[in-house]
Amino acid sequence: MLRPAAAVCAGLLLSQLSAAGGAVTVFSRPGELAVSLPCSYHYEDAAPASRLSVQWRSPAGELLCHFIKHKAFRNCSAGYDIAYRPRSIQLTIRQVAASDFGTHVCSVSEPHHFSDVSVELLRTAESVTTAPTSGVSQSGVTERILQLLVFQCLFVHV
């Protein structure tokens, strides 16, 4: 049976592992040029979707880009661009401002399906992106946090 501190530690570790599996985090610095935020979706896994709409929203909820595939419509606010390829639409911030840090939301829809993908843009001294892992080893800051949690759980509390 786990001691209370070990049980809490195990819970924290599991929450970090489950959160890291589906979250996308991009690290950047203010003023950095051409930072890209990825948005992957499954609607075009089997075949191209003919009617697809994507909206990227800022951390403040403002519409940054709107893409409608079947109308060949693409409209972005100044300083932002999108790049489409089947199963992915990426937002590029041409020059990172303080207002760009936080959670961006990529809303993807096609008839009968809708999903939101959250991408966190965090401030750091160096640029790094961590993608969803589904059990695969991670890199960057997230891996270091998980390593510290594992060390603390295994050697300090157990």
Q: Is the per-residue pLDDT at 16 higher than 60?
A: no
Domain range list for the chain: 1-23+134-158, 24-131
The pairing of strands 53-57 and 102-110 is antiparallel
Q: What is the mean pLDDT of residues 73-89?
A: 93
State what percent of residues in the chain have pLDDT above 70. 64
pLDDT over threshold 70, residue 72? yes
Which pLDDT tens digit goes with each residue over 42-71?
Answer: 877 777 777 889 999 999 999 999 999 889
* Residue 1 DSSP one-character state: -
pLDDT single digits (tens) 97-109: 999 999 999 999 9
The overall longest dimension of the chain from CA atoms, in Å, is 60
CATH class of the domain defined by 24-131: mainly beta
At 7 the three-state DSSP class reads helix
Tokens of 138: 């991670």
